Structure 1
């Protein structure tokens, strides 16, 4: 895959018949049939280092599921350098995940509707000095359980796995992990390190996306 340019917005929405959009649809299909035993309700999209295209992948993958008529929530789990807003023309709310986790705002005030039918976004929210502690709280587990009753699928973005523990924390709350590998970005050793870190917390790695080729 190649990363869609920010100025293009979401390539799966702007040009759904392009070859790149078809690649994201193939990814959706591969995820769906990667396990015959269970349906994935919560997916984590992560990468070893920054710039590999994990957020682009998460956003476009979410669109492809919504285009099938599934009710999808795109959750911005990167509380350190949030960037989901750049993919949407419709402004996301100021309140988000951090405000929800701290109890400062209810769920109804934290979820934003996107311009894509059936796709909602839970942005990162107010900046916090302790992102790992918030993500590791029992409250997030309860919130995801509640959201799973409303949405067919929750796709979570995360910070780079090498730099922070956040991705590992989110992985423990997911049904499956997709690892995005940017061509020429992370080293083989770094990718192996992420794989081992996910296995350490008993997260299921569904597969990998070789990106920016």
Structure 2
């Protein structure tokens, strides 16, 4: 039993290190790539400020959570005030990676259990704050599509320079499409060797039909050799 606990702790530590690489190892090549993507997002807006950014992918396991976290970190490292939101009620991960409590979080604010200010948590990263998912909700897509969600994004936009949202995979849940019209931009993460051309196109079409402003895509897990 103790060995199993140690192994789980080792795996959790490894996942957290990879997910926080822009903070823990800013000189790493991958950290530099995130800063490049951050800058590209800044210049991809045709003059319109991308204040709220949603990160998604065609399927789970593509690496969108890691991408969302490190983009948020790289923005905070530039001196911006950033809010990272876990809008994935189906498979929330941010509280695990940051070692925080899952609740109170976004679902608690959406269901009027407490004010937005009281649900936001600080992180050890300067300039970066966290809004965890809160406990799961039976009608996830409905509460994310609510006027209250729009109010949360607007309230966050008045006090943060950037809002980065980690969302479910677009082809596996309707939740993401309920959010895309409320955000300034969407980044689609594609995993090399896993995401097929047809799934990438299907994800793009689904987001476009929902009114998403797709500002670009990230190709993940590419072997540079």
TM-score by length of 2: 0.89
Matches of 2:20 and 2:83, distance apart in 1 = 15
Deviation at 1:154, TM superposition (A): 0.3
Equivalenced residues, count: 209
Q: Deviations over 1:31-58 (max 9, x none)?
A: 0111232110100000000110000000
Structure scoring higher RCO (CA < 8 A, sep ≥ 6) equals 1
**1:76 and 2:86 aligned:** yes
Match of residue 138 from structure 2:
129
Counterpart among 140, 149, 154 of residue 149 in structure 2: 140
Partner of 1:87: 97
Q: Which runs of 5+ in 1 are unaligned?
A: none
Query: Normalising by the residue count of structure 1, what TM-score does the alignment of the two structures yield?
Result: 0.94
Give the counterpart of 2:105 among 96, 99, 102.
Answer: 96
CA distance in 2, matches of 1:59, 1:109: 21
Check conservation: 1:9, 1:86, Cα contact below 8 A.
Answer: no
Find the aligned partners of 1:141 and 1:149 in 2 and give their Cα distance.
Answer: 13
CA RMSD, 1 decimal: 1.3
Which residue of 168, 181, 184 maps to 2:190? 181
Q: Decide whether the 8 Å contact of 2:95 with 2:102 is kept in 1.
A: no
1:206 corresponds in structure 2 to 215
Matching of residue 116 in structure 1 with residue 125 in structure 2: yes
**Cα pair 2:15 2:97 within 8 Å, conserved:** no
Shift of 1:107: 1.4
Q: Indicate whether 1:66 and 2:79 are aligned.
A: no
Structure 2 spans left out of the alignment, 5+ residues? 1-13
